Structure 1
Amino acid sequence: MGPLSKLLAGLTLLLLPALASAQDFPNKPIKLIVPFPAGGPNDIIARLVGQRMSEITKQPVVIDNRGGQGGVLGTDAVAKAAPDGYTIGIVSASSLVINPTMEKVPYDVSKDFAPVTLVTTVPEMLVVASNVAAKNMSELVALAKAQPGKLNFASAGVGGLPHLAGELLKLTAGIDIVHVPYRGAAPAINDLLGQQVQMAFLDLPVLLPHIKAGSLRPIALGAPKRAPTSPDVPTTAEVGMPDLLIENWYGMIAPAGTPEAIVATLNRVANEAMNDPQVKQKLADQGLTVAGNTPGHFRDYIGTEAQKWARVIKAAGLATGK
């Protein structure tokens, strides 16, 4: 056997375990990390898609909620997990494009993750607490201008898209309102319901039950067109703020170094799960639009979104340095 043949034989021996692992993947439970508390949009999406993935793979998909730092803590847990496909995450724009632009985070988005697929997109809805004396955008802006620095807006954490949405509202409307960050959408909504804060831009799914119950008042939807689930709520363009377009998104990631064959399997299973008619309808009922794409397309999408929000962060003066 010549030197080249020996080298090829050695490489084959080294690759055999990885190939065997990819061929029988998955053969044990998959941990799906959600970097926000239970009850928020990230959690809703993960549970709907994860349950169907479990049925497809015949292996449990276990939801692991790890809230904190606007999604950074849970996202970092994915980055530091073994690259074998058994620990993955469904994360939002905040932890992949916004927080890394605003501040130093413990991971490098371009090096520490293997993008799997974009899962869903969802517009942000601006709502106010029931005790706020404003029924539309013009009244809300007038109220804020009459009381500079007195009104608060909640977010799901510093650096999340709801935070940037509030900052963009401040810039667009020329108002002075104070940011109050929470550890996820659910606690932010609790204080909105309790009238501890006055307003918030949050993902449509978690707001719908409270809008339908009349406990929160919708002001505008940050999307190009009205949502089928809230047809009476005008878009930000319709209320005279066409630049106030706020759309969140959620995508599936794995740790960098996860074998391409396993990433491909996760992509196939995730896309099959999210496009299941029942799952798709349940997501649509929540105001979510199923996306789905290839790992390569998702990587490019992350890059484009990072550039877009970097411009907003710079204009709002939110970058804290790295």
Structure 2
Amino acid sequence: MTKISLILRALGVAALLTSATPSIAQTSEAPIRIVVPYSPGGTTDMLARFIASSLQAKTKRPVIVDNRSGAGGEIGTAAVVQARPDGNTLLFHSGAIAVYPSIQKKLPFDVTKDLTPITTAVGGPFAVIVNKDFPAKTLHDLIAMAKASPGSLNFGSAGVGTSTHLAGELLVQEAGIKMTHIPYRGGSDASLALLGGQVQFAILTVGESVKLVKSGKLRALAVTTLKRSDILPNVPTVAESGLPGFDASVLFTLFVSSKTPAPIAKRLNEDLVAVLRDPSMARKLKDLGLSPIGDTLDQAHERFDSEIRRWGTVIKKAGIHLE
């Protein structure tokens, strides 16, 4: 082999090495599609559109939000599992996806094997909400009432197996009380039931309850994260209210097919983390009571596995089944 051939060969190897993890802007000219397994207009859809807009600005590629609602998120999730694993199709899902292995036994996919978490994008607290006329003024009061009359109080949520339902069940289990769960068709319906006095309390996201709380129509007894909410700073945490260590968050995560090549997944993570950690994203999320997370691939995987185990334990203990 001549000296020139050796040089050319070395240059070729170097070029391959430097292009091993290309920016997703260089990978393809095809649009990036973020699948949301819920209808337009909800929190998950809104967050996906925030991320899509910022990702498009960073990558200089079209980023489309594709709403594939139905079957509790199953249809949208299946679409991503079945998509070409080239990094151009992502799933943006709420914390409800961590419940699939425990509560939905007959699925055409396995989220632990068919999907790879790219990054935990956004998180924030739930709130324990009561009607303004309800006699309990603190979470401690609510727990005392429940212990004095087991099973007499009802709590509402956005539906069976939803994040708000499970956060409520976790609270019931940690407090050692007995309550009756009343599921509704989403957080808005649960809020209306609370306003009408059909339930004594509800677990809602801070974003969907803050306006009613600030207007005085509802009261927030506690938030479920270890840290207080920036938009409800005077509301104590559950941990501060008598259940030390209590911590439950609403989480939103981005996934790709598990068959996606590792270099593409890595670059997706890098670009998405950069977008999520930009100060403009935190400003957009603040009014929703949420904060950007943007963790690494390993951290996202570990967090997802932890959520599956945690909620699986809650589901088993509560005896929750989908009808």
- Shorter-chain TM band: 0.7 to 0.9
Q: 1:173 aligns with which of 175, 178, 186?
A: 175
- Over aligned residue pairs, what C-alpha RMSD do you find? 3.1
**CA spacing shift, 1:279–1:19, aligned 2, 3 Å:** closer
Equivalent position amino acid for 1:98 in 2: V
**CA spacing shift, 1:21–1:39, aligned 2, 3 Å:** closer
2:282–2:292 Cα contact (<8 Å) kept: yes
SS across alignment from 2:27: coil
CA–CA separation in structure 2 for the residues paired with 1:197 and 1:165: 16
Q: For structure 1, which segment, 26-35 or 112-121, has the greater mean C-alpha deviation from structure 2 after superposition?
A: 26-35
Q: Which residue of 1 aligns with 2:296?
A: 294
Q: For structure 1, which segment, 34-43 or 225-234, has the greater mean C-alpha deviation from structure 2 after superposition?
A: 34-43
Q: Does 1:163 align with 2:165?
A: yes
CA–CA separation in structure 2 for the residues paired with 1:198 and 1:26: 53
For 1:106-125, what aligned pairs fall within 5 Å after superposition? 106=107, 107-125=109-127
Q: Which residue of 1 aligns with 2:319?
A: 317
Q: For structure 1, which segment, 209-218 or 183-192, has the greater mean C-alpha deviation from structure 2 after superposition?
A: 183-192
Q: For structure 1, which segment, 63-72 or 52-61, has the greater mean C-alpha deviation from structure 2 after superposition?
A: 63-72
**CA spacing shift, 1:227–1:21, aligned 2, 3 Å:** closer
* C-alpha deviation, 1:53, in angstroms: 1.1
Q: 1:227 aligns with which of 222, 229, 234?
A: 229
Unaligned runs of 5+ in 1: 1-17
SS across alignment from 1:62: strand
Q: Does 1:104 align with 2:105?
A: yes
**CA spacing shift, 1:215–1:27, aligned 2, 3 Å:** farther
CA–CA separation in structure 2 for the residues paired with 1:277 and 1:50: 16
Q: 2:272 aligns with which of 270, 273, 277?
A: 270
**CA spacing shift, 1:152–1:29, aligned 2, 3 Å:** farther
CA–CA separation in structure 2 for the residues paired with 1:91 and 1:123: 17
Q: Which residue of 2 aligns with 1:261?
A: 263
* C-alpha deviation, 1:199, in angstroms: 2.3
Q: Percent identity?
A: 39
Q: Which has the larger radius of gyration?
A: 2
Q: For structure 1, which segment, 132-141 or 250-259, has the greater mean C-alpha deviation from structure 2 after superposition?
A: 132-141
* C-alpha deviation, 1:48, in angstroms: 1.6
TM-score in terms of structure 1 length? 0.81
Q: Which residue of 1 aligns with 2:139?
A: 137
Q: Does 1:85 align with 2:87?
A: yes
Q: Does 1:213 align with 2:212?
A: no
**CA spacing shift, 1:142–1:296, aligned 2, 3 Å:** closer
SS across alignment from 2:34: strand
**CA spacing shift, 1:69–1:194, aligned 2, 3 Å:** farther
1:70–1:159 Cα contact (<8 Å) kept: no
2:117–2:304 Cα contact (<8 Å) kept: no
Aligned residues between the structures: 304
Q: 1:61 aligns with which of 44, 60, 63?
A: 63
SS across alignment from 1:201: strand
2:21–2:266 Cα contact (<8 Å) kept: no
* C-alpha deviation, 1:113, in angstroms: 0.8
Equivalent position amino acid for 1:58 in 2: K
**CA spacing shift, 1:247–1:20, aligned 2, 3 Å:** closer
* C-alpha deviation, 1:100, in angstroms: 1.3
1:70–1:183 Cα contact (<8 Å) kept: no
Unaligned runs of 5+ in 2: 1-19
**CA spacing shift, 1:77–1:306, aligned 2, 3 Å:** same
CA–CA separation in structure 1 for the residues paired with 2:113 and 2:54: 29
CA–CA separation in structure 2 for the residues paired with 1:250 and 1:79: 18
CA–CA separation in structure 2 for the residues paired with 1:221 and 1:20: 42
